[in-house]
Amino acid sequence: MDRTFSLGSRGKRKAQANPIDFMAAILIFLVVFGYFMILWSMFSSRYYERADILDCELSAIAIADRLVSSGGYGPGWAAAPLGAESVGFAKKRNELDWGRIVSFASLQYGDQKRLLGTAQDFLIKIEDSDGASYIQMGQMSNSSVRSVEVTRLAMLNGRIVNLRVRVHME
Amino acid sequence: MAEKTVAGGFKGFVFSLDAILAVSVMIIFIVASFILIAKSSVDPYANLQTVRLERDLLAVMEKSGAFDRLDGGEIEDAIEYSLPHGSEFYFSMETYMYANGTFVMASFDRRGQQPPGSVSVYGARRDIVTKRGAEMEYTVARLWIW
């Protein structure tokens, strides 16, 4: 069962190898290696998926922040929205201007995406605390069912409203 | 390394430093991989979004007049009205009167429930200055949502 190899000239037992031990070691190594490969696969696929979601979330946060904090940029852009360089709905911070909202909503979807600086599909809703919708802009994605939604609070015509920005994963 | 054999025909029972080292490395590896997988599901922007919501809530409450009378009950109702479903809050409000060149604390109010110790909660603050006739009040409102 146990083979020993004499390596020294005086017959000292320098090392020994047992085939069962060796097989067991190989088996354990293969099991651990397989486990490692499965974990690696799980982790890397989760990582890429997570990175996509975080990218989407960051995009939604940035868009929502700009809409409630900024009035947009471009001289009189609300009157001629195609000439705008960036858009924002706020006349003051957390105070939305209906004129700017309607002006942005009148644009084609492609122009809306360009002005928001996003390549992803988006949907913007403004609704009151009970869920009654004032307006909806953008469109649902045809290809992606996964999305991230960010909600901000603001005033619109003296009422508290929720501005919801939903960005779809590509 | 040392190898113990059991006399009487049964050989191969190995329990050496090599085996302990191997098992330790494997356990460390398994624990580390589980920690990494668990961490990958944590949302790093969740706190950022909560703080923005708190700031929004304080701002819209001020704009809608909820802070006009500095009435704790009225403010609590306003928070509950706009609070996302399933969220909890803690609100505190300190009011100082300005008299003879110094600010003196006039009142302290707190609403909601204390955040549980098991979660990290970030709060938002809004400073409000109110002039009532010749008197001036300085209020510090703080809000935590989780």
What CATH number corresponds to the domain at position B118? 3.30.1140
Q: Same structural domain for residues B56 and B89?
A: yes
Cβ distance of A151 and B64 shorter than 8 Å: no
How many structural domains does chain A have?
A: 1
pLDDT tens digit sequence for B76-89: 988 988 888 888 89
pTM score over 0.80: no
Chain A residues whose beta carbon lies within 8 Å of the beta carbon of residue B57: 153
Strands (E) across A13-158 are located at: 15-17, 72-73, 86-87, 90-92, 95-96, 122-128, 133-138, 147-156
Instruction: Report CA dihedral (A116, A122, A126, A132) to the nearest 10 degrees.
Output: 170
Residues B24 and B50 in one domain: no
Q: Residue range B10-22: average pLDDT? A: 68
- Which of A45, A92, A160 should one mutate to test binding to chain B, selecting the residue with the greatest count of B CBs within 10 A? A160
> Is B89 found in the same domain as B28?
no
Tens of pLDDT along A62-106? 999 999 999 988 878 888 888 888 899 999 999 999 999 999 999
User: Range of B3's domain?
Assistant: 1-42
CB contact under 8 A, A160 and B64: yes
User: How many Cβ atoms sit within 10 Å of the Cβ of residue A96?
Assistant: 24
Indicate whether B20 and B79 sit together in one domain. Answer: no
The shortest CB-CB distance from B57 to any of A36, A150, A153 is to A153
Question: Is B62 in the same domain as B130?
Answer: yes
pLDDT of amino acid A104: 93
User: Is residue B51 domain-shared with residue B110, that is, in the same domain?
Assistant: yes
The parent domain of residue A142 ranges over 51-168
Mean pLDDT along residues A17-35 = 86
Q: Is B49 in contact with A150 (Cβ distance < 8 A)? A: yes
Selected residue with higher pLDDT from B18 and B94: B94
Q: What is the mean pLDDT of residues A23-34?
A: 89
End residue of a domain, out of B42, B57, B72:
B42
Strand segments (E) across chain A: 3-5, 15-17, 72-73, 86-87, 90-92, 95-96, 122-128, 133-138, 147-156, 159-168
Tally of domains in chain B: 2
